[in-house]
Structure 1
Amino acid sequence: MKAIIMGCGRVGATLAHQLCTDGHDVCVLDRDPDARELLPAGFTGEFLVGNGYNRGLLEQAGIGTADAFIAVTSGDNTNIVGARIAKDDYLVPQVIARIYDPRRADIYRDLGIPTVASVRWTVTRINQLLRHRHVNPEVTFGNGETLLVREVLPAWLAGRPLLDLEVDHQIRVVAVTRGGHSFLPTGDSLAQPGDAVSFAVAATALDRLRSFLGKELGS
C-alpha cells in the first residue's frame, strides 16, 4: 500500500513508522522541516516539506497512485482541505482525517471521510481503517469502540438467516435495505441478493466481520 501522511506530529510520525515497519510505501508531508526529527532514525519512507494541500507537493509525493491519504495535522481546517483534495480531485481510495472539534464530525461524514479524534486511540484507529478499507465504517461511537458499518452482502450468503451474521458482544445486524426500503430483521429473516446490511460492530471485531463477508460462513 502507498500511503501519504499529511502532518508529522506525534500521531503522524508514529503512524508513518508503523506503516513502514509493516512494509508499506510511506510519504510524510509537513511544512516544518524540523518535524522530521520526530521520525525514527531508521525510517525508510520519504519526507517532503510543504503544505499538504499544495497540489505540486502532492503530485511529487505520488498522490496519483496513492492507496491512502491520512490528514493528521494540528488544524481541523487544514485536515479537511487536504482530505477533500485527496478524495475529490485525486480520487484516493482511502482518505482519513483527524479532528479536534467533534462538532465537525458531521461535516466529514457528509463528505464520506472517516475521522479519528481522541489522542489515545488515534494511531490504532487509523491502522484499523487502513487494514479494513473494504469494510468502511459510516459512524463511530464513543472513542471509536463501536462502529456502524453498512455493506452489501455477497451473493453466496443469499438464503442464509441474517442472524447467522451476529456474534454476541461483537456484531449486531441493525437494519437491512432491500429494493430501496429499509426494515429491521426478525429471527427468520433470510438474506437476499443485493441486501445492504447495517451492522453495529465492536472495533476489535472488524476482522471477524470481514471474514463473514469475504467467504461463506462455515467454510
Structure 2
Amino acid sequence: MRVIIVGCGRVGATLAAQLVTEGHDVRLVDRQPKARALLPLGFPGDFLVGNGFSRSVLEAAGIAHADAFVAVTSRDTSNIVSARTAKETYRVPGVLARVHDPRRADIYQELGIPTVSSVRWAVSRIHQMLLHRHLTPELAFGNGETLLVRSELPAYLTGRQLTEFDVDGEIRVVEITRAGRSLLPAHGFPAEPGDLVTFAVAATALGRLRGFLDKELGT
C-alpha cells in the first residue's frame, strides 16, 4: 500500500516508521527539511520538502497512485486543505486527518474525512487506561467512540455461545483466536478454555464489558 503522510512531527514520523516495517510504501512531506531527523536511521521511504497542499509536491510524492493519505501537521488549516485536495482532486481512497481543535471536527465530517482529535484521543486513552487497565484497545475508530478490544475469556464462560456475549449497539464479538488460529465465529459457536476474543465495543460500554469479564472474580 502506498501511503502519503503530510507532517513529519512525532505522530507522522512514528506512523511512517511503523508502516514501513509492515512493508508499505511510505512518502513523507514536510515544510521543514530538519523534520527528517525524527525518522529512524536508514528509513527507506521518500521524504519531500514542501507544503502538503501543493499539487506539484503531492504529485512528486506519487499521489496519483496513492492508496491512503494522512494529514498530521500542527496546523488544522493545512490538514484540512491537504486532506481535501487528496480526496477531491486526486480521489485517494483512504484519507485521514488530525484535528487539534475538536470544534473543527464537524468541518471534516461534512467533507467525509475521518479525523483524530488530539484532545479527545488523549482524554479517551487516559480514561481507558485508568478505569479499564486490562482492556487495552487494539484499534480505535473516529475519535475513540468505537474500539476493538481483545481479552481472554474467563473460565466460567466456557461452553457459552459466543453470540450470547453481544449487546445490541454496545458490544459485538467479531473474532476469536483459538490455539493460535483466528476464526470468525458462526452462530452457536461455543467458547473454549483459553479463547482470545476480539470485541467491537462502544467506548461508553467498556465498563459493562469489564464487569462481564470480571464477574467470576467479583470485581
TM over 0.5, shorter chain: yes
Paired letter, 1:106: D
Q: Which of 183, 186, 189 lines up with 1:217 in the alignment?
A: 186
Change in CA separation of 1:11 and 1:81 when aligned onto 2, cut-off 3 Å: same
The residue number in structure 1 matching 2:47 is 47
Quick one: structure 1 residues 7 and 201, their matched pair in 2 at CA, closer, same or farther if it must change by over 3 Å? farther
CA contact (8 A) 1:146 1:201 kept: no
Deviation at 1:172, TM superposition (A): 4.9
Matches within 5 A, 1:50-199: 50-118=50-118, 128=139, 140=142, 144-146=144-146, 168=165, 172-174=167-169
Q: Could you tell me how far 1:42 is from its partner in structure 2?
A: 2.2
Amino acid paired to 1:36: R
Where 2:29 maps in the other structure, the secondary structure is strand
TM-superposed CA distance for 1:208, in Å, is 3.8
Q: Secondary structure at the match of 1:108?
A: helix
- Give a deviation string over 1:63-114, Cα, whole Å, max 9, x none: 0110000000000000000000000110100000000000011111111111
Distance 1:89 1:14, change over 3 A: same
User: Which secondary structure does the structure 1 equivalent of 2:26 belong to?
Assistant: strand
| Sequence identity percentage | 58
Note the residue ranges of structure 2 that are not aligned, 5 or more in a row. 126-137, 148-160, 177-183, 190-219
What's the counterpart of residue 32 of structure 1? 32
Alignment correspondent of 2:18: 18
CA separation of 1:96 and 1:72: change in aligned 2, threshold 3 A: same
Who is 2:215 aligned against? Answer: none
Q: CA deviation at 1:117?
A: 1.7
Q: What RMSD in Å do the two structures reach over aligned CA positions? A: 3.2
Q: What's the CA shift string for 1:25-65, capped at 9, x where partnerless? A: 00000010010011110211000000011001101101011
8 Å contact 1:108–1:114 — kept in the other structure? yes
Change (3 A) 1:104 1:119: closer
Structure 2 residue matching 1:52: 3-state secondary structure: coil
Counterpart position of 1:195 = none
Select the structure of larger CA radius of gyration. 2
Q: TM-score, normalised by structure 2?
A: 0.61
What one-letter code is carried by the residue in structure 1 that aligns with 2:47?
F
After alignment, is 97-106 or 109-118 more displaced? Answer: 109-118
> Structure 2: how far apart are the matches of 1:82 and 1:30?
12
Instruction: Tell me if the contact between 2:175 and 2:185 (Cα under 8 Å) persists in the aligned partners.
Output: no
- The number of residues matched between the two structures is 155
Change (3 A) 1:173 1:112: farther
Task: Tell me what 1:154 maps to.
Answer: none
CA distance in 2, matches of 1:121, 1:72: 14
